Amino acid sequence: MYAILQQFGDWQSLLSLLLWVIFFLYFFTDLPQKAQLYRYERGVATRLAMLEGLVSESVSKVRSYMSRLGVKDYDRFINTALENYFVIEPVSIEPIDIIRRLDHLITSNELKFKQDLEKLTPDLSLHTRNNVATSLAIASSLYTVYKVIRHYYLLGKKYENWVLLMQLYLLMPQLLKELTPYAKAIDGMIKGVPIGDSVGPMVAFKLAGIAPRIDIEEDTVYSEVDIDGRKVYVIKAKGPGATVGRPGKAVAKIAEKLSYKVARIITIDAALKLEGERTGTVAEGTGAAIGDLGPEKIEIERTAVKCSAPLDAIIVKMSNDEAIKPIKKEIVDGVEKAYQLVLNIIKSKTNPGDNVIVVGIGNSIGVY
């Protein structure tokens, strides 16, 4: 009995000593931080490799697409597009003419890219070239995100900053889930089918029907239709290529052409839904429904003020990945609801003889 108690006492001593050692290591050394650093570093590295895989997948799809189109020296151009064509924001501390400066920078960058792409693909149609440009833009966006994440990962690893690595570790699962659809979206661009963001042009198409498309701005067209005695000017990006056009400038030009005698301006666009909301839900509000950096949106707002015209916003709700993937049935149903809502606004809130401008905002891929 005494031997058993003595053995039990030895175990208690060992356990007590072990607890004291653990206590000392935990509170008086940096081993816990080292363990956390290793855990977070490995977790981020694994997910970063997955993100790199998405980038490689998207670039590979663009390469394959351009190869099938018979484009020569496409590898060099793709590598150039991934690293270049960035825009530096204008000085904001002096707000005077900042919109004009921003618009100039964006336009100059887009023009440079289009000219370089046209030199490489002179035999392609405008619409096919636009599809190539949009596919490249998606791949470039993924690559930029990858480079930024890699930068912070290497920074955290270099300085053994486990807090920075922890933030990346917690952020990466959500980021990967949001970025994965972008790699898949290139498939839709290559096939030339409408995507979720095409809801605005699709409503415009339903309004314009087979009416002639008249060029009014770069990659932007309008049609004149009569709806119950109202003269309706329907604006959309020039399809069926992947482009969003310049709807703001088109609105300004048409309003000027009409001597600013416009009774109402209606904008239709896709909008990001909140978690829990149903895809394809249609909502009506006030303002310019356009996800623009500023130049196009402010043109619509300024034109509405000059015309003293109410500015209606109609949105079709969807998630971020639904906006860039081939259009779903729920969104198509939303297009029909938005179309009926536009008709109702025109018929109930304007009078015969009025001029009305309807703008279908969004990517016109697959939509004439």
Separation of alpha carbons 58 and 185, rounded Å: 9
Helix (H) or strand (E) holding 121: none
Residue showing tokens 């405008």: 126
Report helix, strand or coil for 51: helix
pLDDT for 2 equals: 47
Q: How far apart are the first and last CA of the chain?
A: 95
Structure token digits, residue 160:
């053994």
Query: pLDDT tens per residue, the chain (368 residues)?
Result: 445 445 555 667 777 767 766 666 566 666 677 777 788 899 999 999 999 999 999 999 999 999 999 888 888 899 988 888 888 999 988 888 898 999 999 999 999 999 999 999 898 998 899 999 999 999 999 999 999 999 999 999 998 888 899 999 999 999 999 999 888 888 888 888 999 999 999 999 999 999 999 999 999 999 999 999 999 999 999 989 999 999 999 999 999 999 999 999 999 999 999 999 999 999 999 999 998 888 999 999 999 999 999 999 999 999 988 999 999 999 999 999 999 999 999 999 999 999 999 999 999 999 98
Contacts of residue 55, defined as CB under 8 A and 6 or more positions apart, other chains included, come to: 139, 142, 143, 146
**Residue 203 contacts residue 247 (beta carbons within 8 Å):** no
Separation of alpha carbons 272 and 279, rounded Å: 9
**Residue 239 contacts residue 368 (beta carbons within 8 Å):** yes
User: Would you kindly state where each structural domain of the chain is located, as residue ranges?
Assistant: 31-191, 196-360
Q: Which strands make up the sheet holding 220-227, listed edge to edge?
A: 214-217, 220-227, 230-237, 355-360, 264-272, 311-318, 282-286
3-class SS letters over 353-368: CCEEEEEECCCCCCCC
Separation of alpha carbons 191 and 325, rounded Å: 11
Cα 281 → chain centroid:
19
pLDDT for 4 equals: 47
pLDDT for 183 equals: 87
Structure token digits, residue 8:
């039990």
User: DSSP letters along 201-247, please?
Assistant: HHHHHHHHTTSPPEEEETTEEEEEEEETTEEEEEEEE-SSSS----H
pLDDT for 39 equals: 85
User: What is the tally of helices (H) and strands (E) in the chain?
Assistant: 11, 7
Q: Which CATH class is domain 196-360?
A: alpha beta
